[in-house]
A and B are shown apart, each in its own frame.
Chain A
Amino acid sequence: EPEVTQTPSHQVTQMGQEVILRCVPISNHLYFYWYRQILGQKVEFLVSFYNNEISEKSEIFDDQFSVERPDGSNFTLKIRSTKLEDSAMYFCASGNSPVAYFGPGTRLTVT
């Protein structure tokens, strides 16, 4: 059964550095998402992507964040200048409306 995959599983970075989190969605899905879960808190929506553009974003998704689908298979989340409060588990998801399937997540630790 196809799955959403994410790399790396764990990323440690210093404050102010740029990070790129990578995801390979399920191949026939049209909608792509990023969510995050700060330790001990609920899973929060960041952004959705459809037809090669952002379809919706939350207030968390400010100018420090960007998403890209560079080659038709990968889906990336870039954080330009990481802050301590960006430390979280980041989940990629994909689906064909309205169901979403999640990847295993990337744990981002900002020191």
Chain B
Amino acid sequence: AQSVTQLDSQVPVFEEAPVELRCNYSSSVSVYLFWYVQYPNQGLQLLLKYLSGSTLVESINGFEAEFNKSQTSFHLRKPSVHISDTAEYFCAVSGPKGGGNKLTFGTGTQLKVEL
């Protein structure tokens, strides 16, 4: 069975400061990794994904995440956050590769960006 741990339930940060949202996963097989973002009163939007290849993946709005197989982590980072980044962020894993595609989610991290 797979599991995802997001240790930080809430992360407050000032605007223009850097942020890291931590995600660790547990799986005995090769996996795909995802970050989804949920803005207030909205659905889940795919932020970025790791499927294969380069372990550093980037989104169009400045977020990046690095797949670290040895540490079973997929932390999300942004060098300078904006007020509009305030949302809940979910890390998710699916696998094994080539098998079923159900997502296992972490409990989410609420990012609150303050002025």
Contact = CB atoms under 8 A, between A and B. Distances in A.
Contacts of A35: 103
Interface string A91-109: 1010101111111110000
Nearest to A99: B49
Interface residues of B, number: 23
A105 B102 contact: no
A56 B42 CA distance: 26
A2 B103 CA distance: 21
B45 A31 contact: no
Interface string A32-51: 01010000011111001000
B102 A101 contact: no
B67 interface: no
Contacts of A44: 105
A103 B43 contact: yes
A101 B36 CA distance: 10
B43 A100 contact: no
A41 B105 CA distance: 10
B33 to A, nearest CB: 10
B42 A42 contact: no
B94 A98 contact: yes
Interface of B: 32, 34, 36, 42-46, 49, 51, 90, 92, 94, 97, 100-108
